[in-house]
Structure 1
Amino acid sequence: MSIEGVDFALRRRAEERDRISNDLLDLDSHPGYQLLDGARLTGETRRRWDETQARAVTLWWLFDAYRKVLDRAQQLRAGKPDLAALTGLLSGPSVELKPENVPVEKRSLLRAAGEWITLDTVVARMDAAYRDIAATVAAADDAWSALLPRLDEADRARRSAQDLLRDLEGTDPDLDRISAGIDRIRAAVTADPLGSAALGAELDGLLADLTARRGLLEQAARIRVEYGDRARRLGDRIAQVAEAEIEARSIRDTVLVKIASPALPTLPDQAAALLDRLGVLATARDRWLELVNRLTELESAVDEALALARTATESMAGLIGRRNELRGRLEAYHAKVARLGYAEDAALRELYGEARTLLWTAPCDLRQATVAISAYQRAISRIGGAE
């Protein structure tokens, strides 16, 4: 190697040394590296980190050996240059790996001596070790980045739920279960990020449970504030149910007198039971979580009972309405017959009389009355007077 070649090689190696030094320092100060170095690791992460630390020791030893050879070369160049020695240092096998410095995976039971390698080989081995270390740090950092923010989100939601629970002065075993699960996952992720990928689905489930539980606690907090008004409104609605059921019984009695063999719906009778349930709620007023479902269920039951009573009333009243509608049709047909000049027609008078008797006799047989009106209508149609 010429003196110019030596100077060029020294400059290139010095720049390479400085770049490698900066890269090693950056790696050593990387937040992920620092977290791994300071954490009490377990599982897959502990295994990988032990391997990574061994590579880091080798990496720093190789860098130190590289730097020492370069320092010797720079010292030789500063005096009377020995080109053969400089060439050997810069391009020949100038770095000795003693048996104790050779990585375990490269040792041989048959090889007691170390080995001499070039600076290029040192750089290549440093690069391989660096890449392995960086890959482990990046994998752990990715795992933490994927799960720790979601765990922080879970912690915020949990604190909010616990604040609500404290205000309610109650206990919630479900919230305790969710909280314990979050703590367990955080501990696992912190100690073994590389073995925690499967915990993401479990964390999703806990977050969904926590969202639902916080919603229930928010409902309980609202109910605590609104309970008096809602209970009074419930009492008023139950009174409406009672009135509607009384009306349904009254219309049933009317229908039984006025309509023959009516098909009646089941008579609703829920007001008393609903009032009892409202009374029981008052005994649980300090158990707000319990009241959430019981109060909302009772409100739904009251609405359903009121709708049922009103529907039954409308259904039974419809039978009276059907009778009245048939009466109106019969009289309309009768008036039409008179306008057409067939009021004295014996056949028509007989059909009219039969239908009228059925419709004005209690109880009224709606089926027979409908048949009779149809016969009257057909008779009118035959003489060309029906609409």
Structure 2
Amino acid sequence: MPGAAGPPMSMEGVDHALRRRMEERDRVAGDMLDLDDHPSHRLLKGLTLTGETARRWEQAQITLVNLWWLFDAYRRVLDHAQEVRAAGRPDLGLLTALLTGPSVELKAEDVPIEKRSLLRAQGEWITLDLALAGMDGSYREVAELIGAVDTAWNTLLPVIDEADASRRAARELADSLSAADPELDRLDAQATRLRERVTTDPLGSTGLLGELDALGRAAQARRNELAQAIRVREEYAGRAGRLGERVEAVAEAEREARRVRDLVLVKIQSASPPEMPDQAPTLRDRLAALDTADGRWLELVERLTALERGVEEALAHATRVTESMAGLIGRRDELRGRLSAYQAKAVRLGYAEDVALAGLYGAARDLLWTAPCDLRRATVAVAEYQRAITGIGAAG
């Protein structure tokens, strides 16, 4: 039976308290129904959970059972109070006890096991306020769990969905190429595993965000590679034709490098030419071998791209070798020009017939106009003639 309360309330006080309690009951019922109808709550009830989520959900289900049981006991007290109030001569003492005293019975068999005692044969009674506080604590505990699950799903599942969109697009591209794709198969298996983990244990999967991001990037990268393969398939004839022209440009550049080398070896003494480029035959073989890909467009993308890069590198190398070798001829010509300029200066200074200067000039000229030219000695000779002319100019 309900325990004793304080002095009986007035009828006005009873009506005010009862009205407030009924509003409170309706609000609590609405909140509990909202909790029960929460999308993540409904999903949790329908899933076979694992890991951390399974452990916490098992405890939450016990809490939910206790919550609904306590609400039912709380509601029965209020229903009883309404019946007493509706009587012709309402018992104010009983109403006061119901509304303010320990009127909610917690039966011994319904008390949570961790709060039971082997010495207690009867249940216990609590007030409506204590019942409300107990319901509030249980509600918050379950709502917190559902909110954490909801947050985890809302954070992780969109990342998987985005990766799935890239994988589906990649799969369509692979199918259009009629090619098996082990890499895409691996990404599919990884995505299936991660989605299962996130779905059944969202609370234990929060650390997977980095792996999920990596999956999304890998799926997008594979999609891009397959899209490139399709472009190569569509553009292959044109690219292969242009590539053949560039290979012939390499061959021509290498022939020019050899021509310049031969010229330098004749005209410049002790020239040490760099290693001559000879990549054109190999590049022609690689270009011809592209046709053996037999529709394996992903493989062809890599081979075609590598060959295009190799052709440009070979062309650049041949050009550098030619320029390096031609620079030796240019150095000789530059020394010839400098010698002629200082000879003209000697004439302007009135030393055209100077025997010493003529000897220096003749030695430098012989070196520069003799094939092969000794550039080192010629450079020294021109420098000596230059210093002599400069000295005369300074003295005058």
TM-score, normalised to structure 1's length?
0.97
Match of 1:279 among 288, 295, 320: 288
Partner of 2:15: 7
2-structure distance, mates of 1:381, 1:69: 122
1-structure distance, mates of 2:20, 2:338: 113
Partner of 2:160: 151
- Written as runs of structure 1 = structure 2, the 5 A alignment for 1:237-248 is 237-248=246-257
Instruction: Tell me if the contact between 1:340 and 1:385 (Cα under 8 Å) persists in the aligned partners.
Output: no
Q: Report % sequence identity.
A: 63
1-structure distance, mates of 2:265, 2:189: 64
Partner of 1:351: 360
1-structure distance, mates of 2:250, 2:291: 20
- Written as runs of structure 1 = structure 2, the 5 A alignment for 1:68-147 is 68-79=76-87, 80-147=89-156
Residue aligned with 1:100, SS? helix
Q: Which runs of 5+ in 1 are unaligned?
A: none
1-structure distance, mates of 2:367, 2:72: 118
Cα RMSD for the two superposed structures: 1.5
Partner of 1:37: 45
Residue aligned with 1:264, SS? coil
Q: 1:285 Cα deviation (Å)?
A: 4.3
2-structure distance, mates of 1:112, 1:280: 92
2-structure distance, mates of 1:158, 1:112: 64
Residue aligned with 1:355, SS? helix
2-structure distance, mates of 1:266, 1:374: 31
Residues 132-152 of structure 1: CA distance to partner in whole angstroms, max 9, x if unpaired?
110111010000010111111
Q: 1:356 Cα deviation (Å)?
A: 0.9
2-structure distance, mates of 1:235, 1:95: 93
Match of 2:75 among 59, 67, 72: 67
Q: 1:386 Cα deviation (Å)?
A: 10
Residues 144-182 of structure 1: CA distance to partner in whole angstroms, max 9, x if unpaired?
010111111111111111111111111221111112111
Q: Does 1:220 align with 2:229?
A: yes
Residues 315-354 of structure 1: CA distance to partner in whole angstroms, max 9, x if unpaired?
1111111111111211222222223322211111111111
Match of 2:343 among 331, 334, 357: 334
Q: Which runs of 5+ in 2 are unaligned?
A: 1-8
Q: Does 1:50 align with 2:58?
A: yes
Instruction: Tell me if the contact between 1:336 and 1:385 (Cα under 8 Å) persists in the aligned partners.
Output: no
1-structure distance, mates of 2:395, 2:44: 98
> What is the one-letter code of the residue matched to 1:106?
K
Q: 1:385 Cα deviation (Å)?
A: 7.3
Q: 1:113 Cα deviation (Å)?
A: 2.3
Match of 1:16 among 24, 46, 54: 24
> What is the one-letter code of the residue matched to 1:236?
E
2-structure distance, mates of 1:57, 1:359: 107
- Written as runs of structure 1 = structure 2, the 5 A alignment for 1:316-335 is 316-335=325-344
Residues 188-242 of structure 1: CA distance to partner in whole angstroms, max 9, x if unpaired?
1111111111111111111121122122112111111111111111111110111
Instruction: Tell me if the contact between 2:163 and 2:220 (Cα under 8 Å) persists in the aligned partners.
Output: no
Instruction: Tell me if the contact between 1:337 and 1:385 (Cα under 8 Å) persists in the aligned partners.
Output: no
- Written as runs of structure 1 = structure 2, the 5 A alignment for 1:174-189 is 174-189=183-198
2-structure distance, mates of 1:378, 1:45: 92
Residues 328-383 of structure 1: CA distance to partner in whole angstroms, max 9, x if unpaired?
21122222222332221111111111111111111100110111111111111222
Q: Does 1:260 align with 2:286?
A: no
Larger CA deviation: 135-144 vs 197-206:
197-206
- Written as runs of structure 1 = structure 2, the 5 A alignment for 1:158-177 is 158-177=167-186
From the superposition, tell whether residues 386 and 242 of structure 1 become closer, same or farther in structure 2 (CA, over 3 Å).
farther
> What is the one-letter code of the residue matched to 2:35?
L
> What is the one-letter code of the residue matched to 2:332?
R
> What is the one-letter code of the residue matched to 1:74?
Q
The size of the alignment, in residue pairs, is 387
Q: Does 1:201 align with 2:210?
A: yes
Residue aligned with 1:161, SS? helix
2-structure distance, mates of 1:131, 1:215: 47
2-structure distance, mates of 1:265, 1:211: 45
